[in-house]
Amino acid sequence: MLIIAFFMLDLFPTEKIILPLPDAVFEFYPNFFNKEEADLLWDKLMNETPWQQDDITIFGKKIAQPRLTCLFGNEGKPYSYSGLTMQPLAWNPTLMFIKDKVEQIAEHNFTTVLANLYRNEKDSNGWHADNEKELGRNPIIASVSFGEERKFQLKHITNSEVKMNLNLNHGSLLLMKEGSQIHYKHQIPKATQPKNPRINLTFRTIL
């Protein structure tokens, strides 16, 4: 009966899983959007977003980002990372719909979303923390995934024994809250098997 009840809970978007990691709060909602909603939002994001590939600077070397991106947000809130400064486009109705639902669960207002398109198994995002100065000391990051499931890896910055792999599925939400960007780094590694495209929206607040 317990197993049946667990799988029944998976059908509800408010199911919350607290990741068992010290020094930070991570909340995972695997069914934040149901499949019908997620399929529709995937199509709209793919077709409405002016995806682009920018150059970033890693260890002093300029390279093309191994994914496509686009920044949306409040006017006058640029976002900088890895030697790149992005100017936000205006919110569109699709992103506002997603943003409103995320803010209700997070109980937090976001000013900006960085949209990422991982085209295949070769696209990735290396180890990093979202700790840019414009995000403040202890930012909250909300990560929404659509499309192909990809492995998301976490590791503690000072305790090498603390790490976790999490599969981010179609329609899921991961909230990275207090301590997450201070004590942890995260990445989306390249995959060894063929992968279809994945869209990831990372909501954040620029001060």
CA distance 192 to 172: 22
pLDDT for 14 equals 67
pLDDT for 4 equals 27
Count CB atoms within 10 A of the CB of residue 138. Answer: 13
Residues 39-55 pLDDT 10s: 999 999 999 999 999 87
Helix (H), strand (E) at residue 191: none
pTM of the model: 0.90
> For residues 140, 203, 165 and 123, what is the CA-based torsion angle, rounded to 10 degrees?
-140
Residue recorded with tokens 């978007």: 13
Residues 104-162 pLDDT 10s: 999 999 999 999 999 999 999 999 999 999 999 999 999 999 999 999 999 999 999 99
CA distance 163 to 24: 12
pLDDT for 7 equals 32
Decide if 40 contacts 61 (C-beta within 8 A).
no
* pLDDT surpassing 90 at residue 93: yes
- The residue extents of the domains of the chain are 17-204
- What does pLDDT average to over the chain? 91
Which superfamily does 17-204 belong to?
Alpha-ketoglutarate-dependent dioxygenase AlkB-like (2.60.120.590)
CA torsion through residues 73, 178, 82, 134, sign: positive
Angle made by CA atoms 132, 86, 178, in degrees to the nearest 5: 30
CA distance 81 to 204: 13
pLDDT for 162 equals 97
pLDDT for 6 equals 30
With 0-12 / 13-18 / 19 or more C-beta atoms within 10 angstroms meaning exposed / middle / buried, residue 149 is middle
Say what percent of the chain tops pLDDT 90: 81
